[in-house]
Amino acid sequence: MIKKEQHMIDMCSGNLPGKILLFALPLAASRLLQLLFNAADIVVVGKFVGKEALAAVGSNTALINLLISIFVGLSIGTNVTLARAIGAKQPDTIRRGVHTSICLALFSGAVLTVFGICVAPQLLRWMDTPDDVVGLASLYLRIYFLGMPATMTYNFGGAVLSAQGDTRRPLYALFIAGVANVAMNLLFVIGMGLGVAGVGFATAISQYISAGLVLWFLTREQGATRLDFRQLRIDPETVRCILQVGLPAGFQGMVFELSNVVIQSTVNSFGSTMMSGAAASQNIEGFVFAIINTFHQTAMTFTSQNYGAGEYERVDKVTVYCQIFTITAGLVLGNLMFYFGHDLIAIYVQPGPEQEAVIQAGLIRMGHVGRLYALCGIMDTMVGSLRGLGCSVVPMLGSLVGSCLLRFVWVYTIFPRNPTPEMLFISYPVTWIVTAAFQIGVYLFIRKRIQV
């Protein structure tokens, strides 16, 4: 029998809305703290170094997400595999999953470190990064990737904890690491004058702090999720289960980020002012996205456990409640963000003659993307429910066509007819609507095939 610790949530019985929020709120706080890593970097360099440094750090987001997305997808596979085993009460499967997942984390982190350090300058050139930015961007990217083993360990370890309903302890780890990150930013950049390199080192070190704490939590578990370093090994059957969900999820994320890299390359063509404004806006939007995207993770985990336990009626209720929370959060937060957008972007921008131009550039993106993040939330939550049901390939294909391919078509056919930032950014809500409609149809089809 699998012991229910105090920090675990029984997802297969009881009041669903309350338990969904109990799971999602710490997860949202964790996502927000992760964003604070990057926000601290951007605010410090924007205020104390200059707009070129701001552009160098902020414009790396899409590229970093592209390079790590396939491995983050594997951590999603870990979450689904373990949550289903927990729902089905299979402790041996859980133990193998925990130790295999940590092995995959360490391996993927090492691969990403080597790859990122070797190819960073060339990748930035392919993105048409301006000459006044590319040197700083390359330096930051290489230092950032020194922390990849820790980033992957935190993601996989956090997936293990959240699969059993524990989203609080990953939050504690990120809070401690976030405070350390901000303190090191101030020390390295303002105190020691290290500039972009300083924020890179601060971020990498803080990642190791959060990863170390998650590993410590896992070693103190009393049940099947307890980590014992002496038992670290790869279990082929567990890897197969993780890959079945994780590879399509990772590939989907990779192609999504590739489409974002293409859009970022187009943003780069407008110059460093638009790059800086878009980078600040994207970072602020990330806080809204972090909150609504927690319901993707929530839908996936709750669906996996209830599907494993044979509670099919609760699966539908999970999807409905998660969508209600997603839409509400997206509409309220997206519009509040835009209403206070001028003041929020000003936080990121160094005072001076170009400050207002950068702010206005950021508001263009925010008005066409940030206000409509509820559409993105609908799409992502449906994907979470489908992955929880073990369906990962079909939603991947739908997302690739509905979002990624359509964005490529937009950039290379529709955008050239009116090459403005507004025409570029409106591609986001258009592709979200198309993809969400497809995912809803797939979910309804699959549920009809599952015996209730």
Mean pLDDT, consecutive 10-residue segments, the chain of 452 residues? 58 86 86 71 70 67 71 82 84 90 91 86 73 76 89 90 86 88 85 81 91 94 86 89 83 75 80 82 84 90 87 90 94 92 83 81 89 91 89 84 85 90 90 92 85 52
Are the beta carbons of 184 and 202 closer than 8 angstroms? Answer: yes
Give the predicted TM-score (pTM) of the model.
0.76
The pLDDT of residue 2: 43
- Look up the domain containing 226 and give its range: 16-449
Does any domain span residue 8? no
Number of domains in the chain: 1
Distance CA 306, CA 302 (A): 6
Within 10 angstroms of residue 367's Cβ, the number of other Cβ atoms is: 16
Does any domain span residue 245? yes
Angle at the Cα of 292 from the Cα atoms of 270 and 24, rounded to 5 degrees: 145
The pLDDT of residue 118: 86
Does any domain span residue 372? yes
Question: Terminal CA-to-CA distance of the chain, rounded, Å?
Answer: 26
Does any domain span residue 21? yes
The pLDDT of residue 451: 58
The pLDDT of residue 77: 84
Does any domain span residue 7? no
133-153 per-position pLDDT tens digit: 777 778 888 888 899 999 999
Angle at the Cα of 281 from the Cα atoms of 263 and 439, rounded to 5 degrees: 55
Does any domain span residue 9? no
Distance CA 299, CA 320 (A): 9
Does any domain span residue 362? yes
The pLDDT of residue 352: 74
Residue where the block lists tokens 């989907």: 252
Does any domain span residue 11? no
Taking only Cα atoms into account, the Rg of the chain, rounded to an integer number of angstroms, comes to 21
The pLDDT of residue 426: 92
